[in-house]
Every structure is written in structure tokens, then in C-alpha cells.
Amino acid sequence: MQSAAKQCAFLLKEYEGCLANLGDQHLGLEPSPGLKTAGWLLGHLVVTGDFARRLCGLPPLAPKEWRSLFLPGTTPSHDAAAYPPMPELVAAFRSIYGDLAARAPGASPDALAAPNPYEKARPSFPTTRDFAVYMLTGHLAYHLGQLSMWRAAAGVK
């Protein structure tokens, strides 16, 4: 988990600029057909990062009611009012991933050896450790890359 946590910390630092100048006017903006909205991308990372925290035996930090908005399979809304305010999403993202990167290496080996509770991902990531590593690295990088593309398409400097 140490290596995955280091990669997570690197991604957070590398993509910090993607969080700059985001406001509520961006929450429901789809600047190009098929791109996710900035509100959905950040909210999705918040709830999935919180899930990764739980995989590592850490308590959740995000409001439970956000799950129905941002879990895998949900559809991004173009209605900014459907989402929490952007500053709240950004703060939750920083808090959840910052703490996850710092504390994931201390996760219990027994907890990490358990079967992945997210059954749809179990064929690729059979254990909690496998899935937590993916959430700290590949999943985070994928969606931060989407946010980077969103910024370019939206012309956010």
C-alpha cells in the first residue's frame, strides 16, 4: 500500500492545478458532448475515495446523501443546483484523498486480504487490497485526466 499511497500523493500534487478557478457555474457544464461535468467528476472522486477509505478500515468523511448523485452508474446532471457547491466538493476531495494517501499504508493486512466487496470489480480486483490500490492510482488518475480534458474543453484557465 505504501507504493500506491505515494502514487496517490503524486497525482494529487500533479493535478492540483485542475482544481483552480472552479466555481458553481462549472458544476453542470458539459463543454463538449460526452464529457462528464466537473461537478460529477469531483463528486464521483469524493464518494469513491471515501469507499477506498472504508476498504482501508478508515471511517467515511463524505455525506452519505452524495452517494446517490455520484456512485458508478449515475448520470451527470446539467443542473448545477443538483450538486453540492463547488468549494464544498473541492474541500471534500482534498480532505478525503489527502487523508487516504497518508493513512492507507497503515491498513490492516487482514482487512486488505478480504474479498473485494464491490462484486462487479471482483474479477479484475479480487481482494480489497487489489481494489484499494486501483482506487488510489488508476481510478484517481483516470478521472483527474477527465477533469483535465474538461478544463481544456471548457476553456477554464
Distance in angstroms between the alpha carbons of the first and the last residue of the chain: 34
Please classify residue 34 by burial: count the beta carbons closer than 10 Å to its beta carbon, then call 0-12 exposed, 13-18 middle and 19+ buried: exposed
Q: Domain span at residue 105?
A: 2-154
Please classify residue 151 by burial: count the beta carbons closer than 10 Å to its beta carbon, then call 0-12 exposed, 13-18 middle and 19+ buried: buried
Over residues 29-73, the pLDDT tens digits come to: 999 998 999 999 999 999 999 999 999 999 999 999 999 999 999
Rounded to an integer, the average pLDDT of 78-98 is 97
Inform me whether the pLDDT recorded for 10 exceeds 90.
yes
Q: For residue 157, what pLDDT is reported? A: 86
Number of domains in the chain: 1
> Residue 56 belongs to a domain with what CATH number?
1.20.120.450
